[in-house]
Chain A
Amino acid sequence: MGAYFSDIFFGLKSLFIGLGITFKEFFKPVVTVPYPYKTIKMCKRYRGHIELIEDEEGNPKCVVCGMCERTCPSECIILGSKAVEFEVEVKGEIKTKKKKVLTKYDLDFTTCSLCGQCVESCNFGALTFSKDYNLASSRKEDFHFDLLKRLKERNS
């Protein structure tokens, strides 16, 4: 008989404790985001598609060594470059030197497997992962990224 009443008492008490918890939650702020209207910033270590990094002058850091193109297992990176002459002062003499400048960095995201080998292989710190995740589209062309154009758009 004692167990009967203590069961009722402790059962009822636990119910009121439960009610107390939900009552407190009722007045706490909302934690969800109304997704299509608002998006949250992605965390630091999120690995989206790749993105070029710029130097101080706003040009891509890339020196067109082609490591990323070669290491990519899915062969989804295509680089384009041209040679540019420029002048430097070395010991009072002005010399002309040649260097490669990036003219095209195409990423075919339809075949990219997001392995990150390109970022690993880059010796000049010119590649990073973007934080974009709203990438749904019904057209294949939307997944062919021109990273150079994206960099220019970011700077403008």
Chain B
Amino acid sequence: MSLTIFNTVMAVVIAIAFAAANAAYLVWAERRGAGRIQRRPGPNVNGPFGLLQPPADGIKLMTKQLMIPAGADKALFMVAPVLAMAPAIVSFVTIPFSDTIVAHSMNIGVLMIFAFASLGTMAILLAGWGSRNKYGVMASVRAVSQNISYEIPMLITVITIVMMTGTMDLKEIVTAQSGGLLNWNIVPSLSSPLMPVAFLIFFICSLAETNRAPFDLGEAEAELVAGFHMEYGSMGFGLFFMGEYANIVIGASLITILFLGGWGCPLGLYPGVWWFLLKIYLVIFTFIWIRWTFPRTTIYGLLNLSWKILIPISLFNLLLTAGLLKVF
């Protein structure tokens, strides 16, 4: 029994390390990618290819003083950054990297991840509210309305997948897609011909849920200075930043697990953790690519997209899949 507890603790530690390392190095990847797309080199001074930039940034953030503005709600102000990072790390625990590499397999993994993803919204709300800053509050209001609007089509799409596979276990969902490209959920099947559309909807929603450009209205620099993390300096800001990137990894992992066949190879050969990592980093590259391609939308455009387009289409897809599953 003690061995299993030890194993679980080790797995959690590894999950935290993985989340932190990814959060640090995705910032580097983001800046390098932005540079390449804008035809400049990006950070390349510290270390080979600028690979020592993230530790340098981390040291700089940690040596700074954490200021709490006068009039801010101290408790909320301190809790918010932790709340931004913690759910992202917890979600890692249930993500299966391969058949055997999973910290703690749960039969309601999908539910757990979405429950913790909703907590991330609370972090933004508390940060904006607790720092007593008008821009912060405006950013919080936006972020909350955005997250609520995009959670609906996202969950409807997930329900479609859960209906098709008949399980909420992430591992089972991947196993159902094993055996090559044609078994993946992104490929339209007889019982659900609109799967590519569902994938697109899920992809857009995960962009919005992780507050990525072009949906980063919570931190729209042009209008809201820096949005919800405006009053944060030092590692408070660092935690928000790392939480954002950890959430991106979670989003990419979910897209991979739900639609792209998890650790399966497109040709059915050598399934393993390498395929999983390759797929999530491809998805993350697409996130970065999208961020540096499209300008930020307006809040109205954002909500219209969700309520007028994504929700009706995902609902239609849900009903169609339900009907066809009954027929076949």
B44: shortest Cβ distance to chain A, in Å? 8
B20: shortest Cβ distance to chain A, in Å? 27
Q: How many A-B residue pairs have CB under 8 A?
A: 36
Q: Range of interface residues on chain A?
A: 10 to 19
A29: shortest Cβ distance to chain B, in Å? 8
Chain B contacts for A21, CB-based, 8 A = 293
| B window 280-295: CB within 8 A of A | 289-290, 292-294
CA distance A30 to B37 in the complex (A): 9
CA distance A118 to B309 in the complex (A): 69
Q: Does A138 contact B (CB under 8 A)?
A: no
B34: shortest Cβ distance to chain A, in Å? 10
Instruction: Flag if A22 contacts B39 (CB, 8 Å).
Output: no
Chain B contacts for A8, CB-based, 8 A = 309
Q: Does A78 contact B (CB under 8 A)?
A: no
Instruction: Flag if B37 contacts A31 (CB, 8 Å).
Output: no
Residue-wise, chain A 22-54 has the 8 Å CB interface mask toward B (1 for contact) of 110111111110100000000000000000000
**B285, closest chain A residue (CB):** A26
Q: Does B40 contact A (CB under 8 A)?
A: yes
Pick from B35, B292, B293, B294 the residue with the most CB of A within 10 Å: B293
Q: Does A92 contact B (CB under 8 A)?
A: no
Chain A contacts for B293, CB-based, 8 A = 18-19, 21-22
**A28, closest chain B residue (CB):** B39
Contacts A8-B309, A15-B294 given: A22-B289 contact, CB under 8 Å? yes
| B window 212-232: CB within 8 A of A | none
**B214, closest chain A residue (CB):** A15
**A22, closest chain B residue (CB):** B293
Instruction: Flag if B41 contacts A22 (CB, 8 Å).
Output: no
Q: Which of A25, A26, A30 contacts B41 (CB 8 A)?
A: A30
B292: shortest Cβ distance to chain A, in Å? 6
Chain A contacts for B37, CB-based, 8 A = 22, 25-26
Instruction: Flag if B289 contacts A23 (CB, 8 Å).
Output: yes
Q: Does B74 contact A (CB under 8 A)?
A: no
CA distance A69 to B64 in the complex (A): 57
CA distance A31 to B33 in the complex (A): 15
CA distance A28 to B36 in the complex (A): 8
A144: shortest Cβ distance to chain B, in Å? 34
CA distance A74 to B293 in the complex (A): 51
**A12, closest chain B residue (CB):** B200
Chain A contacts for B290, CB-based, 8 A = 19
CA distance A34 to B42 in the complex (A): 10
Q: Which of B39, B294, B309 contacts A31 (CB 8 A)?
A: B39
List B residues at the A interface (Cβ < 8 Å).
33, 35-41, 44, 289-290, 292-294, 309
Can you give 19 A-B contacts (C-beta < 8 A)?
A15-B294, A18-B293, A18-B294, A19-B290, A19-B293, A22-B37, A22-B292, A23-B289, A25-B36, A25-B37, A26-B289, A28-B39, A30-B39, A30-B41, A31-B40, A32-B39, A32-B40, A32-B41, A34-B41
